[in-house]
Amino acid sequence: MSDLRQRLFAELDSIRLIDPHSHIEPKTAASKTLADILGYHYYTELIHSAGMPRVEIEDPGLDPKEKVRRLVARIEPLRNTVQYSWLLELARTFFDFPTDEHLTPANWETLYDTAAKRMAQPDWEQQVLDRTKLDAVFLTNNFDDPLTDFDTKRYIPCLRTDDLVFHLSKAAVRQRLEKATDTSIKDIATLRSAIGRLFMHFSSKGARACAISLPPTFAPTKVAPEAAGTALTALLRSTAQNTSPETLANFVFWTLAEFCAEFKLPFDLMIGVNRAVYRDGVYQGQDLYDSRVSLIQYQELFNAFPQVVFPISVLASVTNQELVSYAWIFPNVVTNGHWWYSNTPAYIEHDAAARLEAVPQTKQIGYYSDAYKLEFCLPKFAMYKRILAKLLAERFVLERGWTEDQALDLGRRILRGNVEQIFNM
């Protein structure tokens, strides 16, 4: 079986990829130093969790090399974690880090210097893309991103809308919206028009998705325009916080879905995160969740927008079965990757197995990197491909008597084909 799994992995690993969700900055897609790598929140938050004070990590003006030195000095407790294994795989693949060594105070500097040298090569970004077999990467763009000065075929714009839905009560957000759309927001009509202009702009730049992350309490409903108008008026007149933020949040969310229909954009829903639960956590290391969330909260949305595809990520593995069932019943619900706290092997294996056996093969997007730097796409996708090879070997070839070719066809769809189909590429 081990041989079978390795053969399947080798084939899956040869597939050219499109990464359907990341936080890559297209103008600084690759890393400049190892501090960009070790500064990823997975490392800073885990090292902080294991005992390193936040101030030592987030010391302002900290030199990148000193930052890496400090983090490596406290990284030993992370050796068992899969996140640490991404780091070693990345270091071995890109920077010749020895196969049998851990990252320690004794060897980090060699790695740092080697990495700095490679990263300084003018074609470093291209080298990483080539080695990762990455054809394109979806971005996470602020709604007022001009989307200029980068190759939107390689770095595909995606309209991220958390601010619009959940922070419109902040004057700064409204000002950004007014500026980006050259619209004075006075009422529901102008608000709607401004949002429409965002879609026009993003669409014209080749955006392939609208996306949002949602707290576990959110349950979208259609709001009557009058109610939304009243809420907006109250907000605009007051210098205080919006008194009915939920009404406006629902209005904006529903409006986004309407524009997704109009512009034929899939609407990525990332369901379940509570922000800033650990208030003294490191940057990007404060969010957690309440796993008591249900897709029944999205019942009205899925019924109201049959023409919009909703690629859905759930934060907690306990929600995955609902996702499988909703994707099995609703034509417009698609499973999307393994998100954040569920992006570890035990949960991926359990969740992916359930999807592979009950969701039509055309409705599953296997994986996305969620990465901030290009170098992470390789080890993260590799982790997923190893698990996918295991599932295909055990559950399809051995259990169900599939040929290896049949299993690989399924793998190729999940990994690549569906990304192209579902996002109309």
The answer to whether 408 contacts its own copies (rule: CB under 8 A) is: no
The span of 125-133, 201-209, 233-241, 301-309 binding its own copies (CB under 8 A) equals 301-309
Binding status of residue 361 toward its own copies by CB under 8 A: yes
**Using CB under 8 A, which of the segments 105-113, 186-194, 226-234, 284-292 binds its own copies?**
284-292
Over the window 41 to 60, marking each residue x when it contacts its own copies by CB under 8 A and - when it does not, the resulting string is ----xx-xxxx---------
For its own copies, the closer of residues 199 and 376 by Cβ is 376
- 311 bridge partner residues: 334
The CA distance from 356 to 328, in Å, is: 11
138 phi and psi angles, rounded to 5 deg = -75, 140
Report the C-alpha gap between 177 and 185 in whole angstroms: 9
Whichever of 108 and 289 has its CB closer to its own copies, that residue is: 289
Q: Is 294 in the site for its own copies (CB under 8 A)?
A: yes
Q: Which stretch binds its own copies (CB under 8 A): 15-23, 75-83, 104-112, 228-236?
A: 75-83
Nearest residue to 236 (alpha-carbon basis) of 175, 157, 311:
175
280 near its own copies (CB under 8 A): yes
Question: Token digits for 360?
Answer: 């039509």
Tell me which of 63, 66, 179, 278 binds its own copies, using CB under 8 A: 278
Going by their DSSP bridges, the two strands 267-271 and 310-314 should be labelled as: parallel
Q: Give the range of 125-133, 159-167, 204-212, 318-326 binding its own copies by CB under 8 A.
A: 318-326
Binding of residue 328 to its own copies (CB under 8 A): yes
Please give the C-alpha separations between residue 151 and each of 133, 166, 199, in angstroms, as whole numbers: 17, 30, 19
Inter-helix orientation angle 2-12/404-412, to 10°: 40
146 binds its own copies (CB under 8 A): no
β pairing state of 288-289 and 273-274: antiparallel
CA pair distance 211, 164, nearest whole angstrom: 11
**Does position 221 bind its own copies by CB under 8 A?**
no
According to the binding rule CB under 8 A, does residue 117 interact with its own copies?
Answer: no
